[in-house]
Chain A
Amino acid sequence: MGEEVKLFRSWSSPFALRIVWALKIKGIEYETVFEDLSNKSPLLLQYNPVHKKVPILVHNGRPIAESFVILEYIDETWKQVPLLPEDPYERAKARFWAKFGDDKVLTSVWNVFIKQGKEQEEALVAAMENLKFLEEEIKGKKFFGGERIGYVDLVLGLLANLISICEEIIGLKIVDEEKLPLLYSWMQDFAEAPIIRDNWPPRDKMIVKFQALLDAAIASSSSSSSSK
């Protein structure tokens, strides 16, 4: 009969993209449900009442939220093309780097994007410290997963797209080929991999969206400083 797999996502959510990539890499058939996050459907609210966000994977009627949790579920349920390594220590390291990517790297890159002047300089220093850990980790490997894309690549992969969009908007290099050659190279290789390349959201729409996010961030920080 076949299993029913649905993915609730938005056109731009980088966290949902992780799941798109994972499902496609494993050759799993699924139905996409696009959500307008400014007008969330009753089904989204029913399936993810806690966070009310995408992505949500619904497998045979049972919903799972949080992209890391979904990725591990996918890996445990469909065993072909494993995303996590077999060895428990390597698996643990992969989980560690994935968490580091979201908690530290993403946050620090975001700060470079939205801050101005001296604060931006400081944010860039902090981001470089974090990115250097990734530079070290990718040494000697094509992907974080080794010869082929794995769990850490899927989690960090949004950097391969978002960083160049942020750099274009603010006119500032975040991942400089000279300073972070291995990471830069990984970003190119990842972005060009067939499944990944075919599934990026439209770049022009992303530029518009991120410009708007930047404008909003600047507006809210200047209004909060003027009300002090």
Chain B
Amino acid sequence: MGEEVKLIGSIQSLFSFRIEWALKLKGVEYEYIKEDVRNKSPLIFKYNPVHKKVPVLVHGGKPLPESLVILEYIDETWKDCPLLPEDPYERAMARFWAKYCDEKIWQAYMAEGEEKEKAMGPALESLAFLEKEIKGKKFFGGEKIGFLDLAVGWIPHWLNVLEEVGSMKLLDAEKFPSLHEWAENFIQIPPVKECIPPREELVSYFHSALIYLRSLSANKP
């Protein structure tokens, strides 16, 4: 029968969506519990006392935070539709690039002025890698969606929101034609298309998030 699966997530968290897509791709039934990250419920403090963030997967009552950790857990627990490749070296490459892309593009979005110029380099480098990786393939996972597709799957819908809010241009269709094409394909896939949040809501959220995040760093000694 299987144990109960719950996903505590939020429209405001692009990391939550990775988990929804993974669960849907693998045909895992789950209950979605909506959190407002600006007004956190006791549930988040209970299930993620360390970071107090979404997403959190709760499987059979056992909680698990951190989206990339959750993705690996999902892949190891439900074997249908594998996300990570079989070969250890290919797995290492998927993990390396997932981590790198997460860090670098986010840094570029948060930065201002001179820091932004510096942050753009690594952000563009990660897109350049993805461009090279996707050439000749439909998805990063090959014919089917894989771990890296899910890890960078926020790019198609969220990146241009971050670009608009963070005043930066990264995913240029001329510079990164294959990546651009992948983005168009990815967004059409049923599990992804089903849960895409409205753009205006994202713009408004990320705009206020950016102001808040930058004020935190400005106040640091």
Contacts and interface: CB of A to CB of B under 8 A. Distances in A.
Nearest to A99: B66
A34 interface: no
Given A77-B88, A99-B66, A133-B50, A92 B72 contact: yes
B18 to A, nearest CB: 15
A92 B89 contact: no
Contacts of A96: 64-66, 69
B51 to A, nearest CB: 8
B91 A72 contact: yes
B59 A72 contact: no
Interface stretch (B92-100, B151-159, B170-178, B184-192): B92-100
| Size bracket of the B interface | 20 to 34
B212 interface: no
Most buried by B among A65, A89, A104: A89
Contact of A70 (B59, B73, B92, B221): B92
The main secondary structure of chain B at its interface with chain A is: helix
A121 to B, nearest CB: 13
B66 A69 contact: no
A141 interface: no
Nearest to A65: B96
Contacts of B117: none
Contact of B125 (A50, A92, A95): A50
Given A91-B76, A95-B69, A96-B65, A69 B88 contact: no
Interface string A76-106: 1100000000001101110110011000100
A66 interface: yes
Nearest to A50: B100
Contacts of B89: 59, 62, 64, 73
A69 B92 CA distance: 6
A119 interface: yes
B64 A89 contact: yes
Interface string A118-142: 0100000000000001000000000
A59 B77 CA distance: 29
A225 B220 CA distance: 12
B62 interface: yes
B140 to A, nearest CB: 16
Contacts of B99: 66, 68-69
Contact of B70 (A64, A68, A69, A92): A92
A133 B51 CA distance: 11
B75 to A, nearest CB: 9
A50 B129 CA distance: 10
B95 A69 contact: yes
A73 B64 CA distance: 23
B91 A92 contact: no
B93 to A, nearest CB: 8
B125 A91 contact: no
B72 A95 contact: yes
Interface in B39-81: 50, 59, 62, 64-66, 69-70, 72-73, 76-77
A65 B77 CA distance: 27
A55 B100 CA distance: 16
A93 B77 CA distance: 14
A62 to B, nearest CB: 6
A99 B69 contact: yes
A88 B96 CA distance: 20
A89 B59 contact: yes
B92 A92 contact: no
Contact of A69 (B65, B76, B96): B96
A92 B50 contact: no
Contacts of A65: 96
A77 B89 CA distance: 9
8 contacts: A50-B125, A50-B129, A69-B99, A73-B89, A73-B92, A89-B73, A100-B50, A133-B50
Given A50-B129, A62-B89, 10 more contacts: A64-B96, A65-B96, A66-B95, A69-B95, A70-B92, A89-B59, A89-B64, A92-B69, A92-B72, A99-B66
